[in-house]
Structure 1
């Protein structure tokens, strides 16, 4: 089955079209959506979407781009979400060394505390690893979570293999569709299929055929076709295996899919 393992359905870009966007994706064969929280202010919107749509599975976490919104009491709020809302992961969490001006030390403190919570609640994590793969791996070696997904992966083959050894799947989506994304396309073509999941990161990272965006979940089928073409494998196998991989990376996902 097709699973969009990373999509921000609560984003403002979808406010006027959310119902149509989701139905178009379902019509294209998308069986489930993983919706990560990114900061305390959007936890309620994530919870509401997950409660109202059987095929939306929530996660909760503090994205590194929003650590300025993680104030006193934020971790207590996150703990409540993890205890009461049946999330399938802690996320989106991680490090971002691409955006200038972000406090790297603060990012690492926030990440470390969230990894500890993931261990406590025995949850996988959804990782943001932009230009920060080695430091994220350092934290994962120190705090052994139960795996998860390294979202929008754009590291080296050596880094990819290390994430895989630590129990992670790697997310591929819109960036893979650009002919100039040679490293991402090489990884998509050569990594074990059992290590790959599909994602859109909508509304971000739109595909090459519609670079103005937003990225839409209905395009996941075309992403699967792109991956199949890069690997020289049947589309049906890619869809089946990446769906299985998503459920392996996020065991709680199957409970949401069974509600549909």
Structure 2
């Protein structure tokens, strides 16, 4: 871990110690898990071989350790895409190149139970942060290696999961078709969920689209796995499955490290079905 002097803190984006997340080179692994809630960091690291907290500032808590023998970090992002984009930017500046969102979501399709996992293959960019990086018709696509690793992890762990398109919103209430204060309804909110359901969107959350878009713009890898807390079809709600999402993401990170090793041995740049990890 790097030795930091608080007097060196700066909002200069080129400074070694990053202004918001307060980490420097050597503090984080190549792969970083991104939960929203700072309290979820403890639930993630409880699954690891070992860990050390390296920074805590505002909504950003960072710990680095190992899972299944592979180096791994976790940084909380807070709620929503603006704060999440800051985390991705600053983590990339100190060397991280793979990001996996570990979150919670609302499912909008039948047959998706509370506690199931949703692995994002791509996202509807209803949030505004990614639009400040690139034109609106640029796709928010998950990296296929990250998706493959998350699917393999869910299969090995025996967890029920779904793969598909996520919608990322900028608000929990109006932007997700929920009534606001005193029953306020935003224009079009009454039809929002049904329109997304008919388009085969699987779930709604608030961060994935920005992570995927920014990672693609910068040539980095990213994906997302979320536990279903609510099913908007059945009205069921329980805070269940976050440890499963954390374990799936942690194992996926370890699998990605092994996939990278196999690629190096095979002399190829991308993982494909013809390679074996056995």
TM-score range, shorter chain: 0.3 to 0.5
Query: Higher helix share goes to which structure?
Result: 1
Query: Higher strand share goes to which structure?
Result: 2
Q: Give me the TM-score of the superposition, normalised by structure 2.
A: 0.32
